[in-house]
Structure 1
Amino acid sequence: MNGATSGKALSEPARTDGIPIAAGGSVLRPLKAAEVVAREVVRRIRADGLQPGDNLPSEAEMLKQYGVSRESLREGLRLLEVQGMISIRRGPGGGPVVGTVDSANLGRMEALFFHMAGATYDELFAAWVFAESTLARMAAANPDAEARQSAMTPYLTGEVEDIEHADLEVYISGHEGFHGAVSALAGNRVFQLTFRAYGQLVAHHLATIGDVRTIHQALVDDHLQLAQAIVSGDSEAAASIMENHLTTVAEINRAEFGVRLQGSVEWL
Structure 2
Amino acid sequence: MTSKKKTGARKGKQTEAQAPESATPPKGIPIAAGGSVLRPLKAAEVVAREVVRSITAAGLQPGDGLPSEAQMLQQYGVSRESLREGLRLLEVQGMISIRRGPGGGPVVGTVDSANLGRMEALFFHLAGATYDELFEAWVFAESTLARMAAMNPDAALREQVMAPYLSGDVEDDEHVDLDVYVTGHEGFHGAVSGLAGNRVFQLTFRAYGQILAHHTATVGDVRKLHKKLVEDHLKVAQVIVDGDAEVAATLMQEHLSQVFDLHRGELGPLLEGPVGWL
TM-score range, shorter chain: over 0.9
User: Of 137, 141, 144, which residue of structure 1 is paired with 2:151?
Assistant: 141
Per-residue Cα deviation, 1:98-156 (whole angstroms, up to 9, x for no partner): 00000000001000000000000000000000000000000000000001000000001
Matches within 5 A, 1:176-191: 176-191=186-201
Amino acid at match of 1:231: V
DSSP 3-state at the match of 1:208: coil
Per-residue Cα deviation, 1:222-243 (whole angstroms, up to 9, x for no partner): 0000000000000011000000
Structure 2: segments with no counterpart, 5+ residues: 1-23
Residue in 2 that maps onto 1:155: 165
Residue in 1 that maps onto 2:113: 103
DSSP 3-state at the match of 2:217: helix
Quote the Cα distance in structure 2 between the aligned partners of 1:173 and 1:37: 33
1:64 matched to 2:74? The reply is yes
Superposed displacement of residue 16, structure 1 = 1.4
Per-residue Cα deviation, 1:62-118 (whole angstroms, up to 9, x for no partner): 011111111100000000000000000000000000000000000010000000000
Higher relative contact order (CA 8 A, sep 6+): 1
Superposed displacement of residue 246, structure 1 = 0.4
Superposed displacement of residue 15, structure 1 = 7.5
Contact 1:52/1:99 (CA < 8 Å) preserved in 2? yes
Distance 1:86 1:15, change over 3 A: farther
DSSP 3-state at the match of 1:160: helix
Residue in 2 that maps onto 1:28: 38
Superposed displacement of residue 24, structure 1 = 1.1
TM-score relative to the length of structure 1 = 0.94
Contact 1:16/1:264 (CA < 8 Å) preserved in 2? yes
Quote the Cα distance in structure 1 between the aligned partners of 2:62 and 2:219: 32
DSSP 3-state at the match of 2:98: strand
Contact 1:131/1:195 (CA < 8 Å) preserved in 2? yes
Moved over 2 A (4+): none
Superposed displacement of residue 251, structure 1 = 0.7
Residue in 1 that maps onto 2:246: 236
Amino acid at match of 1:242: M
Residue in 2 that maps onto 1:6: none
Superposed displacement of residue 31, structure 1 = 0.5
Residue in 1 that maps onto 2:204: 194
Quote the Cα distance in structure 2 between the aligned partners of 1:209 and 1:150: 35
Residue in 1 that maps onto 2:128: 118
Quote the Cα distance in structure 2 between the aligned partners of 1:197 and 1:212: 18
Residue in 2 that maps onto 1:174: 184
Quote the Cα distance in structure 2 between the aligned partners of 1:15 and 1:242: 30
Equivalent pairs, count: 255
Superposed displacement of residue 217, structure 1 = 0.2
TM-score relative to the length of structure 2 = 0.91
